[in-house]
Structure 1
Amino acid sequence: MADCCNQPGLVSIETAKALLLDAIKAVDDSETIPLAMAVGRILAEDVKSAVNLPPCNNSAMDGYALRMADAQTDGRLEIIGKSFAGAPFKGKLWPGTCVRIMTGAAMPADADTVVMQENVDSDGHSIRIRCDINQGDHVRRRGEDVIEGTVLAQAREQIAVPHIALLAAAGVGEVTVKRRPQIALFSTGDELRQPGEPLGNGDIYDSNRVALRAALEALDLQILDLGILPDNKAAITKALGQAAHAADAIITSGGVSVGEADYTREVMEEMGEIDLWKVAMKPGKPFAFGNIRGVPFFGLPGNPVSALVTFHQLVMPALMAMKGAEWSPPANLPAKLLSPLKKKPGRTDFQRGIFRNDTSGALVVEAVGAQGSHILSGLAAANCFVVLEQEQGSVGVGETATVVPFCRSFGAW
């Protein structure tokens, strides 16, 4: 039996993604900011190293720096000095001598090997080596990590904490990054109340806008929060006009279905263009995309799970492209089902699940909670989507299904 919500004119999710990514343009503006503030930002230009890393030969261990030729003798080696990080030994090694050296300290001239302090007998004035060693042991070579002029991070790359460490080690204090796009956000519905307010008869809390704002902040985007709007055409028209003037993109939840009070789509048609309406996905069919006076518009469903699924699958890749980043979709992983999943052909289904490795190391997954588009508890307990393809039917225990782990900005890793 086919999905009763599989109506003519539904756009496949693959087509919808391609349409959005093709329509979205990256912001052009850039700014220079301190490196320490750059986590999550998108580089506007390549960053090259002006130094070698390490900048000089240095010791990887606490021990003694020496010439390998001297280590091959049976006698003791005289300790003629010390080399500390930041206070190197400035003299010269002569035959039969060595230098006490600490981790990270510069190697003395002519020294080519370090012997660990645990492998010598020392009387404070000389040492005797107690094991076989090889030339070059425990020496970090100049430029072995990075050679001067190497590109450390590329334009369009999103800066993560390891990038910060690498760039700082190379002496980079500032980076030029893309401006953060500003996203206008509001919810529509006479029944919506702000969390913390008392509920009247028939009221519900506005979870969508709060959750979407958190998701936008996780993507390091600027947010213009226009709050909760009533089901009123004039109010929605005013808010969309304000958003189109001030923002790089607009996101709403609710009002894109076919109810008598769903005005968002009607206003969109009057103020802009609708390029996409209704996607062959579950949950999330009533998803709209277009523009308001040239500004990209994403109309998310009102049901809370639907809103978050469409954000994860459709909006987030588009916003990353707007930031100027190269979009890398999450990995699709095959997993064995531990619970049966019901489905009717017609729409791609994103069921909520928990995946893990079983005792043999194999990847397994099971559904979590009820799968209704209003059931947030299951989504909160999940760590992945179990994706069932558009024309696929129900699947049973032991069959293989595709698992898509939640990405970091969605709150799980």
Structure 2
Amino acid sequence: MQQTVSSSLLPLAEALAKIHQIVAPITATEIVPLNHAINRVIAQDVFSTIDVPGSDSSAMDGYALCFHRTADHLQFEVIGEITAGMAASFSLNQGQAARIMTGAPLPPNTDAVVMQENVIADDKVVELKSLPIRNANIRRSGADICRGETLLRPGERLTAARLMLCASAGIDTVEVYKKIRVGIVSTGNEVIEPGTPLSQGMLYDCNRIGIASLLQPLNVEVTDYGIVPDRLAALQTVFTQAESEVDVLISSGGVSVGAADLVKEALSQSGQIDFWKVAIKPGKPFALGRIGTLLFCGLPGNPVSAFVTAQKLVIPAIKQLQHELMPHPIEGYFIHAKLMRDIDRQPGRQEFLRANLSQNEQGELVVAPQAKQSSAALQALALANCYIVVPAEVSRIAAGNFVDVEPF
């Protein structure tokens, strides 16, 4: 399928807007147990059928007190003990107390719970230095969750805290969108597997492991298509196979303008290209397209470029495919830090400089760009803990100015 694609560079915000228009979220769902649901995306509202806590309970180890008619009474008769999991089998009357443990249900007529560290007690009497305020250290029924309350909504990703929330309400299964199947392939005659002998002119493939690791928090099913040589027929064979096996195919290499960069041509013949070239650095030669219903993401071959474009473009596309609610606007999640070294650069593309963020002796956030900013300099990426985000039109930023920083 031949088509004409503009070679002009697309700003990142416009590329993300196009992804939002192009990528249709999946609709298929399944029900899974909580212990298999981490990082899945909720497909239906999750409601609580109970109050949490289910009854008024103690927030402390201490003593439940009844003093509602005597404000200056500091000695209380201990008439029993209640531990977590027990039902309160007695009520308190004025001037009475009960030994109680954290989470245990309160006996009727409890006005407050006093911490055990704040009393003098024996088996029969507890003496206070002063009365606690009414309702102190009491967890009221439904204080955390009310029966019928919406706990989660469609599009929310199940984090560890959200799984705990579901479990606390007695929920053991959730309906989620089906897993996205993602294929990963590297291209190039010069690329070989790590662990094999390295001959002159060859490079070890590090892109597949990096991309697969970036995708791990999205809980996708990954198919590794290995390394494909720079041959049009070989690329088309992988494209055809992937179309029947996965929902997304991510390739690295072969999307630039060299004689051996055949991914764009193979994609044009097998499917369609929606856009090519994005105005970011590193990562300009990025291609997004489709082969039938398969979403194709073509990353640059240089490892840092592949890493950055996977972060900035592929992950948002997969999140949309998964039906995850995306924050809006996408911009504006930066922090500001004082620049420690001058930045001089060629304007024209938004740049993500690998850098290190720290705090100086005055408590200020300061940031220093790594010395090596080549799109092949992986060590700088591995040592960095943030990006300095430089607007496309900026050519110089002097040390001492504040810059936008995106922590890893």
Is TM more than 0.5 here?
A: yes
User: Partners of 1:380 and 1:326 in 2: how far apart?
Assistant: 30
User: Partners of 2:89 and 2:209 in 1: how far apart?
Assistant: 62
Partner residue of 2:357 out of 351, 355, 376:
355
Single out whichever of 108-117 and 26-35 deviates more from structure 2. Answer: 108-117
Partner residue of 2:403 out of 379, 401, 407:
401
User: Per-residue deviation at 1:105?
Assistant: 0.8
User: Per-residue deviation at 1:353?
Assistant: 0.8
Look up the SS of the partner of 2:238 in the other structure. helix
Flag the 1:75–1:47 CA change in 2: closer, same or farther, 3 A. closer
Flag the 1:71–1:82 CA change in 2: closer, same or farther, 3 A. farther
Give matches, 1:200-211, under 5 Å: 200-211=199-210
User: Partners of 1:171 and 1:404 in 2: how far apart?
Assistant: 38
Match of 1:252 in 2: 251
Q: Mind listing any 5+ residue stretches in structure 2 that lack a counterpart?
A: 1-5
Look up the SS of the partner of 1:69 in the other structure. coil
User: Partners of 1:196 and 1:124 in 2: how far apart?
Assistant: 70
User: Per-residue deviation at 1:70?
Assistant: 5.8
Q: Mind listing any 5+ residue stretches in structure 1 that lack a counterpart?
A: 1-6, 407-413
User: Partners of 2:7 and 2:197 in 1: how far apart?
Assistant: 42
Give matches, 1:62-77, under 5 Å: 62-69=61-68, 72=71, 74=73, 76-77=75-76
Asked if residue 96 in structure 1 is aligned to residue 95 in structure 2, the reply is yes
Asked if residue 25 in structure 1 is aligned to residue 24 in structure 2, the reply is yes
Aligned-pair Cα RMSD in Å: 1.7
Give matches, 1:228-377, under 5 Å: 228-328=227-327, 329=330, 331-377=333-379
User: Partners of 1:75 and 1:137 in 2: how far apart?
Assistant: 16
User: Partners of 1:183 and 1:140 in 2: how far apart?
Assistant: 46
Aligned partner letter, 2:318: L
Flag the 1:266–1:90 CA change in 2: closer, same or farther, 3 A. same
Asked if residue 60 in structure 1 is aligned to residue 59 in structure 2, the reply is yes
Single out whichever of 62-71 and 289-298 deviates more from structure 2. Answer: 62-71
User: Partners of 2:64 and 2:352 in 1: how far apart?
Assistant: 61
Look up the SS of the partner of 1:257 in the other structure. coil
User: Per-residue deviation at 1:347?
Assistant: 1.4
User: Partners of 1:27 and 1:175 in 2: how far apart?
Assistant: 17
Aligned partner letter, 1:246: E
Match of 1:172 in 2: 171
Asked if residue 156 in structure 1 is aligned to residue 155 in structure 2, the reply is yes
User: Per-residue deviation at 1:165?
Assistant: 1.5
TM-score, normalized by length of structure 1? 0.93
Match of 1:35 in 2: 34
Match of 2:111 in 1: 112
User: Per-residue deviation at 1:365?
Assistant: 1.1
Flag the 1:266–1:398 CA change in 2: closer, same or farther, 3 A. same
Determine what percentage of the aligned residue pairs are the same residue. Answer: 38
Match of 2:211 in 1: 212
Match of 2:3 in 1: none
Single out whichever of 239-248 and 342-351 deviates more from structure 2. Answer: 342-351
Single out whichever of 360-369 and 243-252 deviates more from structure 2. Answer: 360-369
Look up the SS of the partner of 1:68 in the other structure. coil
Flag the 1:73–1:385 CA change in 2: closer, same or farther, 3 A. closer
Contact kept? 1:180, 1:221, Cα under 8 Å: yes
C-alpha deviations, 1:53-87, integer Å up to 9, x for none?
A: 11111111122212122653547432221111112
C-alpha deviations, 1:103-138, integer Å up to 9, x for none?
A: 111101222211222333323112222223221121
TM-score, normalized by length of structure 2? 0.94
Single out whichever of 87-96 and 333-342 deviates more from structure 2. Answer: 87-96
Aligned partner letter, 1:26: P
Contact kept? 1:76, 1:126, Cα under 8 Å: yes
Partner residue of 2:384 out of 379, 382, 385:
382
Flag the 1:333–1:123 CA change in 2: closer, same or farther, 3 A. closer
Single out whichever of 358-367 and 252-261 deviates more from structure 2. Answer: 358-367
Look up the SS of the partner of 2:396 in the other structure. coil
User: Partners of 2:361 and 2:74 in 1: how far apart?
Assistant: 56
Flag the 1:314–1:74 CA change in 2: closer, same or farther, 3 A. closer
Contact kept? 2:76, 2:125, Cα under 8 Å: yes
C-alpha deviations, 1:307-341, integer Å up to 9, x for none?
A: 11111111111111111112234712222210111
User: Per-residue deviation at 1:93?
Assistant: 2.1
User: Per-residue deviation at 1:373?
Assistant: 0.7
User: Partners of 2:118 and 2:196 in 1: how far apart?
Assistant: 70
Flag the 1:210–1:295 CA change in 2: closer, same or farther, 3 A. same
Contact kept? 2:341, 2:398, Cα under 8 Å: yes
User: Partners of 2:269 and 2:154 in 1: how far apart?
Assistant: 39
